[in-house]
Amino acid sequence: MTETVSRPTLEAVAARAGVSRATASRVVNGGDGVREPLVERVRRAVEELGYVPNQAARSLVTRRHDAVAVVIAEPETRVFADPFFALQLRGISKELTAHDSQLVLLLTEGRDDHTRVGRYLAGGHVDGALVFSLHLDDPLPELIHGAGVPTVFGGRPGWGDGARPAVYVDSDNRGGAREAVRHLVGLGRTRIAHITGALDQTSAVDRLDGFRDVMGEADPRLVVEGDFTPAGGERAMRELLERCPDVDAVFAANDLTASGVLRVLRERGRRVPDDVAVIGFDDMLPVAEQTDPPLTTVRQDIEEMGRLMARLLLRDLDRRTGKQGLDGGPAGVVLPTTLVRRASA
Amino acid sequence: MTETVSRPTLEAVAARAGVSRATASRVVNGGDGVREPLVERVRRAVEELGYVPNQAARSLVTRRHDAVAVVIAEPETRVFADPFFALQLRGISKELTAHDSQLVLLLTEGRDDHTRVGRYLAGGHVDGALVFSLHLDDPLPELIHGAGVPTVFGGRPGWGDGARPAVYVDSDNRGGAREAVRHLVGLGRTRIAHITGALDQTSAVDRLDGFRDVMGEADPRLVVEGDFTPAGGERAMRELLERCPDVDAVFAANDLTASGVLRVLRERGRRVPDDVAVIGFDDMLPVAEQTDPPLTTVRQDIEEMGRLMARLLLRDLDRRTGKQGLDGGPAGVVLPTTLVRRASA
DNA sequence: GTGAAAGCGCTAACAA
DNA sequence: TTGTTAGCGCTTTCAC
């Protein structure tokens, strides 16, 4: 039970293969510049001994960790109420795995956590960081910058554009919103409303901008602020019906909001899409497919976003070890969205 | 840009404070047995230099990592379709954070990944592991056992009970199921059906057992196999209506299944709960609260499960470093469930 | 192409 | 109480 069967070391492998530790090390790390027969012998020794390199020892000298931190800064529980988060993680995980990198998850839940995360990143435990769910006033970017860790953001960061060029991956929130609203226009709707997301997040702002791109300033009463939650959607929809009873279409900032909208419409006896057409955003399957009627929505490929973030970061890391510089590359990558037509619009 | 501003070492701190590295180390690790004025000087030096210990160097000698692996072995996408996973992670994260331990996430998606995970755990990168979503034929427990890493399982592992005493945390699936079915009985229902989950998972088996505890073997046609998904629920419900058109209550293995059930009932014009009462399991909010009608269901405290798993593991780890043995403690911890009444039953 | 040797930054005996 | 010293297991010049 307490038999901590001390794992074999490189030393042991070298001894068994009848070579020096240096040669054994070379083989373990790819085997370049080692003659074939020796490579073979070392490989066998590794196999027989069940040797696994001690990462701590390796990191100590290489200063690489083959690990990436994923920071999810979401004080609210929103992230946990939808599969967004899980899908991103999956995409990231796949990509990191393919590069033999480990995923260290840092969930934060308030001010204290922020300094903890800052310290961790500054401590040089990981090679880089992927950071999500930033709000406009979030202190995290500052901390991260201070930590000097290569970072890719999920979603366009909110601080003054260009002030500090950040690498990020985002969906085409604005373009997607435009497409959604144009679809409603194409349906012949004239009183098209928008229920926004939490406007301290760039995704919400961008979707609102997309709405305005098509509708102009129109009737300002047709824009109501929501918060990306079903409850927020309900509240906003009630307000909207009060302000503009003649509304005939709603573009909701996300599917969760749309589900709240649908509930209020049903409760008020408005038929969807006949009386009021509704479009969401995300194409979060468990929501969009289960609503009544099924939701027409703007799809974003969440998993691909995660994957791309990881890829960008790893590329950056590889670059730093190899040729320094080659500088920047694209600061932001924006993925396309697609309109998924179901029954609600 | 390439200024890898080499972080200050303990050596530097010691020099600045005018003490030996050993003393500096003692202060950094709690400062026991060091006279106050020295402690003070070292603390200041740490502060001024912005010193952060190099974890790799530390691990190399202590053989501790202050890191725990969370293994989620879910080949299917089910995990990602619900917030289960996110909630568990949150519970785990909170607990680990409180113990200054890091969370390394290992997502697996097939056979290859299993050996990768096995290697990683065997490689001694983490102090322990938390493992989820095991299926009956999963090779992971074997690999993990081989790796010799302290482990706590999420959900009762499926292999032969007692064969290998595993530490796990689970919900009272059986008791919860009993309570649900009894509630239906109390409602005066007599033709009560059960749509199971994927029966290669112990949670599904346990819920079925709970159903049988109350209903006996009853009419075997009233039990239909599902798979924890809405689509599975729909399919099973269709079959059920065909077999037993007189069914007046359904206990679904989880909320997602129940949502499928509700959809089929609506489509067939059966009123819920008037004609058919429906109960789910999980109390997964975004689902249970959004269905029409809102779902009566058996609630399990997912976040608490995660938290408890982490606590159990950390306790075990502390024990090993301190007094060895003290052996086992409870092999399994089962958390209570509660019936949440909404409109569907 | 291969090996010998010098650390990476830290902790933990052991001395003082 | 404090300092000295010997490694932890690995990579990486630098000779050979």
For residue A142, give both structure tokens: 């500052």
pLDDT in tens, A175-209: 999 999 999 999 999 999 999 999 999 999 999 99
Per-residue pLDDT at B322: 57
Which residues 206-245 of chain A have a CB within 8 Å of chain B?
230
B246 to each of B221, B233, B243, B272, B279, how far by Cα in Å? 12, 18, 9, 14, 17
Per-residue pLDDT at B1: 32
Residue B323 has pLDDT above 50, yes or no: no
Q: What is the mean pLDDT of chain A?
A: 89
β A192-195/A223-224 pair status = parallel
Q: What is the mean pLDDT of chain B?
A: 89
Mean pLDDT of B94-102: 93
With a pLDDT cut of 70, the percent of chain B lying above it is 91
Whether A189 has its CB under 8 Å from any CB of chain B: the answer is no
Statement: the CB of B23 is under 7 Å from strand D: yes
DSSP character string of B16-45: HHTS-HHHHHHHHTT-TTS-HHHHHHHHHH
Statement: the CB of B315 is under 7 Å from strand C: no
Minimal C-alpha gap between A343 and chain B (Å):
15
Distance CA A257, CA A295 (A): 11
Q: Which residues contact A288 (CB under 8 A, 6 or more apart)?
A: A255, A258, A280, A282, A294, A295, A297, A340, A342
Q: Are B102 and B96 in contact (CB under 8 A)?
A: yes
With a pLDDT cut of 90, the percent of chain B lying above it is 66
Which residues 102-121 of chain A have a CB within 8 Å of chain B?
102-107, 109, 113, 116, 119-120
Separation of CA B249 and C1' D7 in angstroms? 70
How many residues comprise chain A? 345
Residue B289 has pLDDT above 90, yes or no: no
Statement: the CB of B338 is under 7 Å from strand D: no
Compute the C-alpha angle A285/A286/A288, nearest 5°.
Answer: 55
B13 to each of A61, A246, B28, B43, B48, how far by Cα in Å? 20, 71, 10, 9, 9
Q: How sure is the predictor about B2, in pLDDT bands with cuts at 50, 70 and 90? A: very low
Whether B286 has its CB under 8 Å from any CB of chain A: the answer is yes
CB contact under 8 A, B81 and A81: no
Residue B47 has pLDDT above 70, yes or no: yes
Whether B171 has its CB under 8 Å from any CB of chain A: the answer is no
CB contact under 8 A, A60 and B56: yes
| Nearest nucleotide, CA B58 to C1' | C10
A291 or B265: which leads in pLDDT: B265
Give, as one character, the DSSP assignment of residue A8: P
Residue A133 has pLDDT above 80, yes or no: no
Statement: the CB of A35 is under 7 Å from strand C: yes
| pTM of the model as a whole | 0.90
Separation of CA B45 and C1' D11 in angstroms? 31
Residue B136 has pLDDT above 90, yes or no: no
Q: Pick from B59, B102, B286: which is nearest to A56 by CB?
A: B59
Separation of CA A41 and C1' C4 in angstroms? 21
